[in-house]
Structures are given as C-alpha cells and as structure tokens.
Structure 1
C-alpha cells in the first residue's frame, strides 16, 4: 500500500457530477483527487460504435433548458445536433401497427380522452411537489403510499392508457408501473417541467444530442483536470474522524478534509463507511435501487424509413424493445436506429439472439427493408460492474417519505452528489452537473470556515 496522498477534497466517481465538482473546486484554488472505479470516465454516459458511427450507450439527450450541461459541452467544443423528428411516428399496440404525428399516438376518441385526462391529472399533482424535498410536499405520505399502477386503477385508466404509461415507466425509471411510487413519478414530472416536456423530442427533453457523443464531453472535461483523475481506482472504504477523511482503494489511500461521493444511491452500499451510515441512510441505499434499461443499435445503408415519411421514432407495447429513435448521422447514411430494450426479456440471451429479437421487431415497425442490417451492437447495462441498472432509481412506495430526507444529507465529512440528489432536472445529465456544483459549493464553504463543521457536529 502506498503512502497516503493528501488533498483538500477526494471525489468518488468521474461522471458529470464528480467532474463538475472537481472543476469548481480547482477553480476555487483547492486540491482534489477524483477516483473512478471503471477504466474510463463518464459514468452512465458511454460511447459505442456501429457501422463506423459513434453512438450513446447511456445518457443521450439534452433540452434547450439544460444550460449547465450545454455550457460544459460548449467549453470543450462538443456540438449539439437536433434529434431527427420529421415525419410520422409508429405505434405498435396489441399487435396492430399505426402511425401518428406529435407526442400522442393516434387512438380512438375515447382512448384519447382517457389518456388526456390521466396526463392532466399527473401534471396537476406534479405542480404540488417540492422537487428538492418531495417527501415534504402536501399529501406526500398519501402519494408515496401507492404505486403508479395503483393510482391508474383508481383513475380508471383504460388499457391503452396503461400501455402507454408502461412504456413511459420503462424509459424513465426502468421498471413496471407497479414498481415505482406515485410520489417519485410526480417528482420526475415536476423536475422535467411537465409530462409533455418529459416525453417530447422537438422542444422537449429529447431535443438534441451530441455528434461526438456525451461521453466525449466527459472525456474532454476530465482531460482538463489532468492527473487529478484516476481511473481503475474503485473506492472500497471511506474512514473519517474530526480532522478529515481517508478514501481507500486497492492500492492507495487518499487523505482529504472532505469527500464527495457521486455514485448512484444504491451503489453507496458498495463502499464500507467508518463510522457506518445511519439507519436511515442504509434504508435509502436498500430502497432507492436503480431500475433496468438496455439499448440496442441497428444500422442500415441509409435511413430508409425517412423516404417513407417516418421519423424513426416508435412506441411498442410488447417484445424486447419498447421504443426506437433515429440517430443517423446524415440522410445519406448509414441509417441508425436506437432501440430501448427491456432487460427482463433481453439481457440474458446470447448476442445473436438479442439481435434477432430486435431486428424482427424493427421489421414489424418499419417494413421488410429492415431485414438487411449492415451492423448491430447493444449495451446491457445490468452487466455493468459499477452501476448496473437504468439511469434513474425505481423508487417504490413508501421509500421517498421514509428515507428521502437523507438523500443529500452529509454523512459527517462525506457529501453526496449525483443526478438522483438534484432537485430540478433530477435524473438528467443536467441534474448531474448541477448536483456536482452544489456539493462543491457546500464543501468549499466548509473549507473556508472549518469551525462551522465542528459546531454542527457538536449540535448533533
């Protein structure tokens, strides 16, 4: 074991939260060390390649309002490109194919009215939620005591509405509607600025992506920190006393005045804390578990669906994939479709079986031309070593009101960041950046006035 290295702040995780915290602290004149368990930076953003085209295995889109991540990308010279939305979308529902324009599928008048009623009710309830502390919102206990599915039962949602809400749940929380509490759903809707905005491409959350990929933003941003960032350095243990903290990896010890941990809430449990986390904090780790979501990319010579007036976007209620987007680099090709995949019926199969499942569904959606892909690749996030699961936690009933209050509450000299800890834009890359900036500001304030920590500890 090497002799301890001393810095002002040790940061666990080199995703957007950790890198943002590190940059802010360095700009304030503090020394930092960023420790990343993976052999790469970026966390839940990760670049793959299909047919020579770089694609986003993880976080992909930014909205116009995501100023924090956009400013970061501008700083390192990455270029946003609009998500392709021209043409009709495809709906595959109960074995039948139809097309529609906009966000809401073409359904019967009765089904449309029912869907609109449910959406209006969700938006109305979401406006009552405090995104920074949803557990303190009016009716929080009531809203957290039921799942989204139970609420849909009470609201007499039709089967078509339930099918659409299941797709939404799989994309946003990586779970079934029965596995996420209504309060957590409402927090996300409020944080994203409403149901329509959450689901929209044009003018919404899926407005733009980056031609270089989002991990490239993280790679370039990390490069500015130089040798302050250490990869393949999983933190196994964090010890602390009144004078500081020590982060222990397999080969190093990093001593610091404070630590910022940016892992997903569930994966805080992979670190041994001394002193141990409080009972509430341990409950948070066990109950705020990540959902499950995977991705596949199928490439063709050209985006042939465009010639047929289709956008490449689809919604599908059965099978391995439940939605697609066109992420082709240009109209001239190659044509690339990104598919969201359900890990329960996808991840456990061999690669050739996974490919066959996805291509079959794309043929159903976009026609026989889809039978001749030139390349294929997928990413099964449940197999990830350091953050298996979906981008966001699937927070079940009662977990927010029981444990949410300690989500960002420091554990002594250990502070927390990560998109889950953000209020506005929680669950997005923008939220991750904001959370890192918030944690850095909190720690910087303590570094300026260390006595404030001692007074707070004396009161506890």
Structure 2
C-alpha cells in the first residue's frame, strides 16, 4: 500500500462519499442518520451531479440536466415532499408532431402521427417489449431466462426479429434514442429489456401523463441535492477532486481508519468509501491495490449516452394557440425530441430540445453558437417562423461536462451483463458503489439514483456494525 503523508488539512471519519449528486447525498444523509461521521467530497464547485440548474436572463430557472419525475418513482417523490419541494404536472394538451421522410404529421399519445399500419405494428412491438422486459430479473439480469442469448445480440437485431414494419422500426429507434441517448445497435437486447423493465416498461417510460415525463419539481430538480447538502452542512466538501483510493482491500478494523481517499488538497482516512459517480468517472480514479478485473471491466465498459440539451425561451408559448402540445419527434432532423417546458412562475414560452445518439456525437465538433443555430433551424422547421427568434438559448453538452462525460445513464454492449454485470453494484472490499447505473428500479433515472444511495448506505451500516 502506498504511503500517505499527513498534512494539516487531513481528516478522519467513518465514511467518505465520493460524489455529491443525488445518489451520494442520499447515502450521506442516511449514514449520518445512522450515527456515522461522514464526509462528502465533490470535484465540482456545486452539488447535483447530473441535475443542474440554469437561469435565463429573465430570471426563469430551468433544468440543464435531469428534470422529470412520474408515477412509481416513489423514492424521489417522497424525498421531494420531505424536503419541502413542490411538483407540477407538465403541459400535455393538443396534438404532437411527427417528422419522417420529409412529411409532417399531427398525432396523439396513441398514434404519434404514424399511419394506421405503422401505429398498429409499433403498439404490438411495445407490448411485446414490455411482456419480455417483465421476465427479466431486475436484481440479477444475468440470471434471467434466456439471458445469454439476449446478451449476445444487439437490441437492433432483437427488434428486427420482432417487427417487420419499416416505419414502426424507424420510429422505435428514435423513441429508444430519446430514452437511452444511444442507438439500438450500441447496446445488447438484454440491456434494453433490463433498462426498460426497471422502470415498468417502455409504455410507461415514453408517456407524458401517467408516465416518466409527467411532472417536474418547481424551481428545478437540482434543489433536491442542494437541500440535502444544506442539511449536511460542512460535511460536504466542494472543489475536492478525488485522485486515488488506497487500502480498500484492508480488513475493517474498528480501531483504525483503513482506507485513504486522496484529493488534490487533502487525505481523508476512513473505514468505508461510497463511490457515487458515473462508472466512466469511477474508471478515472486510481486504486491501490488495483480493483478486481471483473469490477474494472464492468465500470470501464458501462458507456455513457450522448446528449445535448437545449432550453429555448420565447416571449409566449405560441404553439399552444395553434392546438399543439409542443411535443415533437423527428426522424429527419438533428433535434429528435421536443417538449413544452414552460414553468408556472413565468408567462414565457419554453421549449426543451434534445440532440441524442449519433446526432449528438456529430454536434461535438461544432461550437456552441453553431449548435444553437442548428437547433433553432430545426425548431423553425417544426413550428414555423415564430420559432426562429427566441429570446435566449441555454445549452449543455453532457459529454463535455468534465465530471460526467455523458448522459442520461450508461449502457452495456453485447456480452457484458452475463459476464461482468454482477460486479456493477457489488461492494469491493471496503468500497461500495452508488449511482443511477447501479439501481435495479428506475435505472438511469433520478429515482434510481436515490434508491442506489439508500442501498449503499444500508450496506455500509451493516458492514461497519
């Protein structure tokens, strides 16, 4: 074990939590409630992780990161209520728009603007996906019936085998890209079915009212982390990028701090560590001794999605006057998904637009001004000249965010769930893992992050005692 030199800023405690996103802060709060001395170290100058607030010049606050909550996301809804935060139902009145093969079609939540035959084929495919997803073991996907076969093929191959309608298949790829921020040939069929099953199925995930996009937190979801951090007070240390974790394989000795967590400014000695950062960021920490091969492969191959999020403000929500809900799905443009994102405290019209998957990777070579121009061009194609002159555009490319490097969550390509999947959430010696990618319920969502923090805290309490 590498020797660590002590300095005046060194600290000792029971548990160090790496990462002040919702998962890490949830774990820290529960550990403190259990009577343990905890420190949270965060590389950024803010808390919130993949939730982040943005503010227009008008003063209206919106979310640059994760924003929606909905039915069955019981843990995050309970947390919001306990922290004194209000939720509101999103606007979902009027027709949606579909752009495919150069054609603009109005639709609703049942048809999405698809033709009769394509809508029927798409509905049949969704029902088949959800029946199959319900058979996947959420706690141990690798033990599911037919897991090896499903893990050996891509999601695209599996979908091709179960849908012969070209229009329905193309629409399904765009729908799934809006959920996983990746293309269907970039992850295994087993990953697709596990991920969708963790949230109750594709039907629930793609719906607005009654689904995963039903509600938002008034003032933004980043307040969940901010209020948790306020309650933890000086236990939360910002601008503390962790460089290495040493001694994680030591026997847990109640009379000594076996593990050393070293940041740029100090060393924290503790009994246990909770690493609550995305798997791709966990690979960038140094571990002494090195992590077991299974864990290292699992975290290094959990590839994050690619997404750019744009919040676009207008003087008024002009689309509502035209009988439109503001929802758009496009198979033809860089912007694949748009929602009405107006907030109760403002009369302004706000659209949220997403560039995902391959389109997002293509945007990486553009500067922010060009990205915004192309998004506005797409919104103008969707809604007409009223969309051409927004008052302001806010944007976040999550693949460029240095301590995230991608959103929404991570994905496993073929052959990984059945070989290294069991290592993703299992403790390594005195290290415990949290984060939305480790959740069995609502994996990749804010609710899943909360649940993962609760699980990791329970593991630590059981281990320490």
2:192 paired residue among 173, 185, 188:
185
2:12 paired residue among 6, 13, 16:
6
1:23-38 alignment runs, 5 A limit: 23-38=29-44
1:46-445 alignment runs, 5 A limit: 46-50=52-56, 51-240=58-247, 241-242=250-251, 243=253, 244-330=258-344, 333-342=347-356, 343-445=360-462
Between 70-79 and 6-15, the greater mean CA deviation after superposition: 70-79
Conserved in 1, the CA contact under 8 Å of 2:60 and 2:345?
A: no
User: Which residue does 1:457 correspond to in 2?
Assistant: none
Q: 1:369 Cα shift?
A: 1.1
| SS in structure 2 of the partner of residue 270 of structure 1 | coil
- Specify whether residues 8 and 166 from structure 1 end up closer, same or farther in structure 2 by C-alpha distance, changes over 3 A only: same
| SS in structure 2 of the partner of residue 238 of structure 1 | strand
Q: 1:210 Cα shift?
A: 1.2
Q: 1:191 Cα shift?
A: 0.8
Conserved in 2, the CA contact under 8 Å of 1:2 and 1:251?
A: no
Q: 1:347 Cα shift?
A: 3.1
Q: 1:320 Cα shift?
A: 2.0
CA distance in 1, matches of 2:442, 2:16: 25
CA distance in 2, matches of 1:239, 1:217: 31
> What is the CA deviation profile of residues 306-357 of structure 1, one whole-angstrom value per residue up to 9, with x for unaligned ones?
0111111110112221001111124972100000113223232122211111
CA distance in 2, matches of 1:329, 1:249: 39
CA distance in 1, matches of 2:140, 2:269: 32
Matched, 1:19 2:33: no
CA distance in 1, matches of 2:345, 2:42: 38
CA distance in 2, matches of 1:253, 1:332: 46
| SS in structure 2 of the partner of residue 188 of structure 1 | helix
CA distance in 1, matches of 2:333, 2:88: 30
> What is the CA deviation profile of residues 8-29 of structure 1, one whole-angstrom value per residue up to 9, with x for unaligned ones?
1110010111101111011111
Q: 1:156 Cα shift?
A: 4.0
- Specify whether residues 444 and 350 from structure 1 end up closer, same or farther in structure 2 by C-alpha distance, changes over 3 A only: same
CA-based RMSD of the aligned residues comes to 1.4
> What is the CA deviation profile of residues 176-212 of structure 1, one whole-angstrom value per residue up to 9, with x for unaligned ones?
1110111111011111112110101101111101121
- Specify whether residues 67 and 377 from structure 1 end up closer, same or farther in structure 2 by C-alpha distance, changes over 3 A only: same
CA distance in 1, matches of 2:378, 2:361: 16
Q: 1:76 Cα shift?
A: 2.2
User: Which residue does 1:455 correspond to in 2?
Assistant: none
Task: Give me the TM-score of the superposition, normalised by structure 2.
Answer: 0.94
Unaligned runs of 5+ in 1: 449-460
CA distance in 2, matches of 1:332, 1:441: 41
CA distance in 2, matches of 1:341, 1:112: 24
- Specify whether residues 361 and 331 from structure 1 end up closer, same or farther in structure 2 by C-alpha distance, changes over 3 A only: farther
- Specify whether residues 269 and 178 from structure 1 end up closer, same or farther in structure 2 by C-alpha distance, changes over 3 A only: same
Conserved in 2, the CA contact under 8 Å of 1:320 and 1:345?
A: no
Q: 1:138 Cα shift?
A: 0.5
Q: 1:292 Cα shift?
A: 0.6
Conserved in 1, the CA contact under 8 Å of 2:245 and 2:285?
A: yes
User: Which residue does 1:458 correspond to in 2?
Assistant: none
Task: Give me the TM-score of the superposition, normalised by structure 1.
Answer: 0.95
> What is the CA deviation profile of residues 236-265 of structure 1, one whole-angstrom value per residue up to 9, with x for unaligned ones?
100112242110001111111101101112
Conserved in 1, the CA contact under 8 Å of 2:96 and 2:113?
A: no
